Amino acid sequence: MEDLINTLLIISLSGSFGGFIFGIYVGNSYKIRLPITGKYFELGFIGDILVGIAASITIFFVAGALFGLKVSSLSSTDSLIKMIALGVLSGFAGIKILSNMSSQLLERINEINVRVDKVEKSDRANELVRQADAMLNKNPLKAKIIYEKALSIDTNNETAQIGLAKSLVRLNNIEEAISVLSKIIENNPSAERAYYNRACYKLKTEHYTKQDVLNDLEKAISLFSFYQEYAKEDDDFKTLHNDTDFINLLSKRY
């Protein structure tokens, strides 16, 4: 307790000196409003000294909280010099240091809030995706609505976008499903599932050539070799199982 009182005394005295020097250097003008008359009273150098004391004490405790500084014994000359230097510097810089520190704290708090908000949104969206996946085959229309709700929470949720495309295909909106997958690929050129599914969906419509289908399939395989074997047994490519170009593509080394 004695160390704390001595520390505060030294910090306050050195901070008042720093504030006084800052007042001479800058020439700030601090005023207070008198409670009865409502008039303002010029504090002059007293204002600089008070700001210096307040700033030095505040910065000492804030720095202690942030960097683990402790009230140490002032028995050594080295500790005493460091304490005085901290007080003078804090008092001199005063409001400027506090403003910078508060700005940094607010920035960190905002970053944390953004991250937490992003995680929470992702969790809520993923839960909706799981619900939609469970009813995709039985009720694709309801699944579509839930996928869209998930995307309203997390716009870039790729799993929800893939699911939405699947529901659209089951509702015979193949072109719209292809459009959804194309947007995924535009935002993420490494989205192998989007390439693979788009190849499957292109095969279901006459608007695309066989080469369009194979190009997407090849891109998917180049990103994830699993699809090279998977496509051999996939009923979506049943019409190509005996096609030479399709067979060669699935035999190609990557």
What is the per-residue pLDDT across 152-210, written as a single tens digit (0 to 9) for each?
Answer: 999 989 999 999 999 999 999 999 999 999 999 999 999 999 999 999 999 999 899 99
Whether the pLDDT of residue 244 is over 80: the answer is yes
pLDDT for 111 equals 81
Question: Per-domain residue ranges for the chain?
Answer: 2-93, 115-251
What is the per-residue pLDDT across 222-232, written as a single tens digit (0 to 9) for each?
Answer: 999 999 999 99
Whether the pLDDT of residue 139 is over 70: the answer is yes
- According to CATH, the superfamily of the domain at 115-251 is Tetratricopeptide repeat domain (1.25.40.10)
Whether the pLDDT of residue 29 is over 70: the answer is no
> First CA to last CA across the chain, in angstroms?
72
pLDDT for 108 equals 76
pLDDT for 176 equals 97
Across all residues in the chain, what is the average pLDDT? 79
pLDDT for 27 equals 55
Half-sphere exposure of residue 50: CA atoms within 13 angstroms, side-chain side: 10
pLDDT for 134 equals 96
- Distance of alpha carbon 175 from alpha carbon 173, whole angstroms: 6
